[in-house]
Homo-oligomer: A and B are copies of this chain.
Amino acid sequence: MQANTVYGALRGLETFSQLCDFDYGTKTVQIYKAPWSIKDKPRFAFRGLLLDTSRHYYPIDIIKQIIESMSYAKLNVLHWHIIDEQSFPLEVPAYPKLWKGAYTKWERYTVEDASEIVNFAKMRGINVMAEIDVPGHAESWGTGYPALWPSSSCREPLDVSKNFTFEVLNGILQDMRDIFPFKLFHLGGDEVNTDCWKYTPHVKQWLQERNMTAKDAYQYFVIKGQEIAISKNWTPVNWLTLAVKFGSEVKNNGNYIAVYKEETFNTFAEKLNPKTVVHNWLGPGVCPKAVAQGFKCIYSNQGVWYLDHLDVPWDGFYDAEPLEGITDSTEQELVIGGEVCMWSETADPSNVQQTIWPRAAAAAERLWTSKEAAPISNTSEAALTRLQYFRCLLTRRGVQASPVTNQYARSPPYGPGSCYDQ
């Protein structure tokens, strides 16, 4: 086996392991149809899985199980959405009260825990991209430091008017820099409702003194966050979507959700740092606009690659195309890859693996394999057979992967039967 890097060798060994088959008749490991000659490389460099440890806490052993399972599908980035409005589980030595925002005194990650995860992932060829989602999705920060809230009735977004807010953000990023060596850092930026900035007296005054709207202040926050990340030698990633009118609604997993003005990409794209990686979440069409303006892009169109959308079947994941709508080859190269997202509102250690697998493996094939070798088709029998086989391989390796053909993710098998048929 030859590879240019140790990571290439790891992927090659994974492929090799999947060629091995235990023959129960002879009780030997066989490689059928040998000799094999396989020349392989990934289609996209960035093949990610998001894990949200704020809506529910995942113990270290569960996170390690997920990382290990990722390596089987050649995914190579764990996007660790560590903190959100519900809980702040991570230790930050510079601001030790922050993890008072954890659900309980037990649902926490020490600096050592986080480093252990990063190293465990590294040994499996997986980078950890950490995320601190600002300025929205951050209510839990104020449990330890209430000054980060504009007021007791305005707890999100973080107080844009105080230097302390950016001191804390800087302190978190400084401490995290020691833990997370990966070149990308995710700054969030999504779903920010700035309404209460306008009604909180000291923030309102701050805005007026600077002749800024709340929207201007949102941009100010995003760009200041980027500057801090860049100063620590990180490339910033931001959740961004297309411009949507304030108050409009979009269908999200069967429910209508409000889309806030303050995450528009178009309105201040020119102010974003040119290094910015645009992370497309809400729907299709973001990456084409982002790459047209020279930004790199990560594809996570929620209509097809959100694992918590249980009604998306395996072929919905499989048929997604990160380069959809992008024809220029220079622009295509700016799409660094894609990511399936395991948001945790209704996922926790009891059901996370079977919500991830096997659907994430369908996306993983899309991200790894050339388009010619993995044609898009709802009725691809070959892909279904591969995925069923892979699902059973996962279970053999101890991963709780769900039946492939259930039309609602992670639902139990309908009745008795072989793993290979379900």
Q: Which of A's residues lie within 8 Å of B, judged by CB?
A: 21-22, 24-25, 27, 54-59, 61-62, 64-65, 86-87, 91, 99, 103-108, 110, 112, 344-351, 353-354, 392, 395-398, 400-403, 410, 412-422
Contact = CB atoms under 8 A, between A and B. Distances in A.
A344 to B, nearest CB: 7
B103 A419 contact: yes
Contacts of A350: 353-354, 395, 400-403, 410, 412-413
17 contacts: A22-B106, A24-B91, A24-B108, A25-B105, A55-B415, A55-B416, A56-B416, A56-B417, A57-B419, A61-B396, A107-B420, A346-B413, A350-B353, A350-B354, A350-B395, A350-B403, A351-B402
Q: What are the 9 A-B residue pairs with the smallest beta carbon separation, nearest first?
A: A103-B418, A61-B398, A349-B395, A55-B416, A59-B396, A350-B402, A350-B354, A346-B412, A86-B416
B24 A345 contact: no
Number of copies: 2
Contacts of A27: 110, 112
Nearest to A84: B416
Which of A64, A354, A414 has the most chain B CB atoms closer than 10 A to its own CB? Answer: A354
A104 B346 CA distance: 34
B354 A351 contact: yes
A351 B412 contact: yes
A22 B112 CA distance: 13
Nearest to A112: B27
A57 B110 contact: no
Per DSSP, chain A at the interface is loop
A22 to B, nearest CB: 8
Contacts of A348: 395, 403, 412-413, 419, 422
B418 A57 contact: yes
A397 B60 CA distance: 9
B351 A61 contact: no
Nearest to A347: B412
A61 to B, nearest CB: 4
Given A396-B59, A398-B59, A398-B65, A416 B345 contact: yes
A416 B137 CA distance: 13
Contacts of A344: 416
A355 to B, nearest CB: 8
Given A24-B110, A56-B419, A349 B400 contact: yes
Nearest to A344: B416
A74 to B, nearest CB: 21
Nearest to A410: B350
Which of A25, A103, A354, A413 has the most chain B CB atoms closer than 10 A to its own CB? Answer: A413
A99 B25 CA distance: 10
A397 B58 CA distance: 11
A102 to B, nearest CB: 8
A349 B358 CA distance: 13
Contacts of A54: 416
Contacts of A108: 24
Contacts of A397: 59, 61
A31 B55 CA distance: 29
Contacts of A354: 350-351
A59 B395 contact: yes
A378 B400 CA distance: 32
A170 to B, nearest CB: 24
A390 to B, nearest CB: 13
A48 to B, nearest CB: 22
A104 B351 contact: no
Contacts of A410: 350-351, 412
A124 to B, nearest CB: 17
B103 A351 contact: no
A296 B421 CA distance: 41
